[in-house]
Structure 1
Amino acid sequence: MSFLNMEQRGTMSASDFTRLSNFIYNNYGIKLPLSKKIMLEGRLQKRLKALNMSSFKDYCDYIFSHEGQREEIVTMIDMVTTNKTDFFREAIHFDFLSNQVLPSFESASSRSFKLWSAGCATGEEPYTIAMVLEEFSEKSGKIDYQILGTDISAQALQQGITAVYAEEKVIPIPINLKKKYLLRSKNQVKKTVRIVPQLRRRIEFERLNFINNDFGSLPMFDVIFCRNVLIYFDRKTQEKVIGKLCSRLMTGGILFLGHSESITTMALPLVQIHPTIFKKI
């Protein structure tokens, strides 16, 4: 490859950035201001190399072609999205679920308890929820439950489905829960753990676009976790997404948001009952 082509591959023009960022915003709701141009360049470099393309212009032309729309969009979104998450992240939410939400459900209903981890990334959140529910069942009486984990990233969801994590990823899990719910790999070089089948059977993973899906095919949920997802959207998109989440939340159901997210002033059927925790009214 010539030196010129190497330079072209490494630089995204303002017009190409605008084409891509507008497409990503219009179809997936993710806002990419000009300050994210270098980040986008860096993440898509691997795709140019894999496709043997010499410039971002070639890549943009491919993305907007019929073939690219069919073959590349999912991969591009995987490269663009950030899938940062942890087990027991913002632990106060899981304490509230165990101490406040589950006891009231147990005393009021015998049906299956349904939870949705919306924006579940690589699966740490839904598996944390499953551990909390299993522990509650063990101490307070058996509760039947179903968990749905959704994300826009197919690559992230695949890790959730396989449920294999590096040992350093499970550090936040309390030691007693590690012993009960993790299987340690026999590979001493690449040290990993896998979530036990008992929990894996409880969770269904599904790819979902918050923007282009009306959620009408989803069931009604008792609890929805949508944490650290809204930060990627502008205010208008945030309100639209939360409104659609509310349409799948039962009256009296609980919505958990991330600690840096706010829905103040939004016209929503929610009342705040604790910082970042809301009840549908």
Structure 2
Amino acid sequence: MAGNALAEDALRQIAGPTLNDAEFAFLREFVYRHCGIALGEQKRQLVQGRLQRRLRALGLKDFSAYCALLQQDPEAELGELASAISTNVTAFFREAHHFELLERELLPRWLEHKQRTGERLRLWSAGCATGEEPYSLAMVLIEALERTGSTVDAKILATDLSPQALATARAGVYPLERLAGVSEERRRRWFLRGEGANEGYASVHPKLRERVSILPLNLLHEWPMQGPFDAIFCRNVVIYFDQPTKRRLFERFCALLPVGGYLFLGHSESLHGLSEAFELVGRTVYRKRG
């Protein structure tokens, strides 16, 4: 019997600690309150598996210790927790029709108007993940500025909760295979190919970095920026939220957009039944009503 007990203990050490009912209930409530992410019972194994890596990184022996850490200092671990339980899937020029609309219609109109009025142009990538979205926006923006000869003050704010994602975005260095959605012409102009130890990687051009401010932000907490933004990109983010959280978030986005401002959502997201403040004007493209 002693041998069986030792064998079971060894297996537990290999597999990692398990998440009991009370610990999972605590984590569900904590994640919902601080991140707006609703975790169903079916996510239990996923949460356990992903957070076992955090336990190892922190040198914690079990989930009880991890829950105690969260209670002691919620903010210190919040970004790592959110990053562990969510999936940052992104790509350069993902959902290309959004960038085509910007390039073809919106940016020329905005830049012409703001050149006359002296207003600034601001875009917000809310949930920028590892940076592909804001850098894609920067390429389109700079090219539009050059085509029109505009001197408008134009910048992009990029925010995310995940420390790892933000670190990648700030570094702006990507494996060459991540540039699959970038045209050859843009690859040559906007990326610097690595050599030697950096072979197989490319870094974004300094001109793109100059247009993008990358900052940590929890969408459920207070926002330091006042706006207004001409457009907000919040794509493939609210899929994790329940209906009340989505409704509150869209109300807050609305407050930072002028009449006629644009909200871009992900391909599986919609404002249907959540906000009357916007009208659908394209594929997951919404405009603030007057």
Residue equivalent to 1:16: 23
> How far apart, CA to CA, are the structure 1 residues paired with 2:114 and 2:198?
48
Candidates 35, 40, 45, aligned match of 2:42? 35
Indicate the structure with greater helix content. Answer: 2
> How far apart, CA to CA, are the structure 2 residues paired with 1:245 and 1:37?
31
Q: Partner letter of residue 170 of structure 1?
A: L
Matching of residue 135 in structure 1 with residue 143 in structure 2: yes
**What's the CA shift for 1:216?**
5.3
**What's the CA shift for 1:266?**
2.1
| Distance verdict in 2 for CA 1:32–1:60, change over 3 Å | same
**What's the CA shift for 1:32?**
1.0
> How far apart, CA to CA, are the structure 2 residues paired with 1:35 and 1:89?
29
> How far apart, CA to CA, are the structure 1 residues paired with 2:76 and 2:279?
43
Matching of residue 52 in structure 1 with residue 96 in structure 2: no
Contact kept in structure 2, 1:150 and 1:205, CA below 8 Å = yes
> How far apart, CA to CA, are the structure 2 residues paired with 1:180 and 1:92?
22
Residue equivalent to 1:225: 233
TM-score in terms of structure 1 length: 0.92
Residue equivalent to 2:97: 92
Q: How many residue pairs were aligned?
A: 278
Report matched runs for 1:158-173 at 5 Å. Answer: 158-173=167-182
Greater C-alpha Rg? 2
Contact kept in structure 1, 2:156 and 2:212, CA below 8 Å = yes
Helix, strand or coil: the match of 1:83? coil
**What's the CA shift for 1:77?**
2.5
Helix, strand or coil: the match of 1:224? strand
Contact kept in structure 2, 1:157 and 1:205, CA below 8 Å = yes
> How far apart, CA to CA, are the structure 2 residues paired with 1:217 and 1:255?
17
> How far apart, CA to CA, are the structure 2 residues paired with 1:240 and 1:169?
34
Task: Select between 74-83 and 176-185 the one with higher mean Cα deviation.
Answer: 74-83
TM-score in terms of structure 2 length: 0.90
Contact kept in structure 1, 2:36 and 2:241, CA below 8 Å = yes
Helix, strand or coil: the match of 2:232? strand
Task: Select between 78-87 and 229-238 the one with higher mean Cα deviation.
Answer: 78-87
Matching of residue 151 in structure 1 with residue 160 in structure 2: yes
Contact kept in structure 2, 1:228 and 1:260, CA below 8 Å = yes
| Distance verdict in 2 for CA 1:62–1:9, change over 3 Å | farther
> How far apart, CA to CA, are the structure 1 residues paired with 2:31 and 2:210?
33
> How far apart, CA to CA, are the structure 2 residues paired with 1:112 and 1:70?
33
- For each residue in 1:1-49, what CA deviation from the matched residue of structure 2 results, as whole angstroms up to 9, or x when unmatched? 9527617833111221110111010111011111111111111111211
| Distance verdict in 2 for CA 1:7–1:60, change over 3 Å | farther
Task: Select between 19-28 and 70-79 the one with higher mean Cα deviation.
Answer: 70-79
> How far apart, CA to CA, are the structure 1 residues paired with 2:70 and 2:281?
45
Residue equivalent to 2:278: 270
| Distance verdict in 2 for CA 1:101–1:143, change over 3 Å | farther
Candidates 202, 216, 227, aligned match of 1:193? 202
> How far apart, CA to CA, are the structure 2 residues paired with 1:142 and 1:92?
24
**What's the CA shift for 1:188?**
5.7
Q: Partner letter of residue 183 of structure 2?
A: P
**What's the CA shift for 1:53?**
2.4
**What's the CA shift for 1:235?**
1.0
**What's the CA shift for 1:57?**
1.9
Q: Once the two structures are aligned, what percentage of the paired residues are identical?
A: 36
Q: Partner letter of residue 21 of structure 1?
A: R
RMSD, matched Cα: 1.9
Candidates 184, 190, 203, aligned match of 1:181? 190
> How far apart, CA to CA, are the structure 2 residues paired with 1:189 and 1:117?
28
Residue equivalent to 1:101: 106
**What's the CA shift for 1:135?**
1.8
Helix, strand or coil: the match of 2:93? coil
Q: In structure 1, list runs of 5 or more residues that go unmatched.
A: none
Report matched runs for 1:234-249 at 5 Å. Answer: 234-249=242-257
**What's the CA shift for 1:180?**
0.4
> How far apart, CA to CA, are the structure 1 residues paired with 2:14 and 2:231?
50
> How far apart, CA to CA, are the structure 1 residues paired with 2:56 and 2:67?
14
- Stretches of 4+ aligned residues off by more than 6 angstroms: none
**What's the CA shift for 1:105?**
1.2
**What's the CA shift for 1:190?**
4.9
